[in-house]
Structure 1
Amino acid sequence: MREAITTSQAPASPLFSQAIKAGQHIYVSGLVGVDVATGKPAGPTIQEQTRQAIANCEAVLRAAGATLDDVVEVGILLSDPADFPGMNEEYANWFSDPLPARYAAKLGAEIPGILVSIRMTAVTG
């Protein structure tokens, strides 16, 4: 059984669910570093947008009854691969051991002002 997870605390789109919960698995869609209060990127730096993208994912996880401690995989898409060190600088502040599996790649879509998109998979129970 699949359940769509929705919260006003993270960016939303009519084109995808913020997350899908299937049993104990939660699949969070790729979320960008947009502040839902303003509808604009959280700032011009990769660190600011990474912080906001992770906070947005965290809000969706909370709505699904999970936390960052339940995350088993993180996918990161960067508009500019040169931002990888700056993204890592902020990312390191969010997770504790054991760290989730992770991948990073170049964001294929060009979205004005967007530097990063982050998706997560969590398992509860």
Structure 2
Amino acid sequence: MKVQIKPADAPAAVGPYSHSIRMDNLLFISGQLPIDPATGAICEGSIEDSTRQSLNNLKAIVEEAGATMDDVAKTTVFLADVADGPAANKVYAEFFSEPYPARSAFQVAALPLGARIEIEAIVVLK
């Protein structure tokens, strides 16, 4: 059965999709933009600020599902500029510990709302 996870403290979706879908013991989290859930505005700060906001949004969904960031098995990071990767990695390492999730990272032509980063994840639930 497909169950939607929609935490109150995560920003609203910007399109016709769910924040995340739980199926059995897997949680599929849609790409999280650096949107401040309190204001609905995209983060205008540094790539570090944007990465932190995207990961805080992702973490809110993970925790709403009863999991922790240690349960994240795979992430995909989309960057507007791959040169931002090293700075984003420093913040990413604040949210995850070894063994780190498997990860793919890509530079893309553009992201919704002019964001600099978007992060999606797959989580294994207990």
Q: Judge same fold: TM > 0.5, yes or no.
A: yes
SS at match of 1:49: helix
Q: Which has the higher helix share?
A: 2
How far off its partner does 1:111 sit? Answer: 3.3
Aligned to 1:47: 48
Specify every segment of 5 or more residues in structure 2 that has no aligned partner in the other structure, as ranges: none
Aligned to 2:79: 78
How far off its partner does 1:112 sit? Answer: 4.2
How far off its partner does 1:52 sit? Answer: 0.6
How far off its partner does 1:9 sit? Answer: 1.1
> Within 2, Cα distance between the matches of 1:76 and 1:115?
11
Aligned to 1:10: 10
Q: CA distance change for structure 1 residues 66 and 80 in 2, over 3 Å: closer, same or farther?
A: same
How far off its partner does 1:108 sit? Answer: 4.0
> Within 2, Cα distance between the matches of 1:110 and 1:33?
11
What's the TM-score once normalised by structure 2's chain length? 0.92
**Identical positions, percent:** 36
> Within 2, Cα distance between the matches of 1:32 and 1:95?
18
Q: Which runs of 4+ in 1 moved over 4 A?
A: none
- Size of the aligned set, in residue pairs, is 125
> Residue 107 of structure 1 contacts residue 116 of structure 1 at CA under 8 Å; is this kept in 2?
no
Aligned to 1:21: 22
How far off its partner does 1:27 sit? Answer: 0.5
> Within 1, Cα distance between the matches of 2:52 and 2:39?
16
Amino acid corresponding to residue 115 of structure 1 in structure 2: R
Q: Does 1:122 align with 2:120?
A: no
> Residue 107 of structure 1 contacts residue 117 of structure 1 at CA under 8 Å; is this kept in 2?
no
Q: Which has the higher strand share?
A: 1
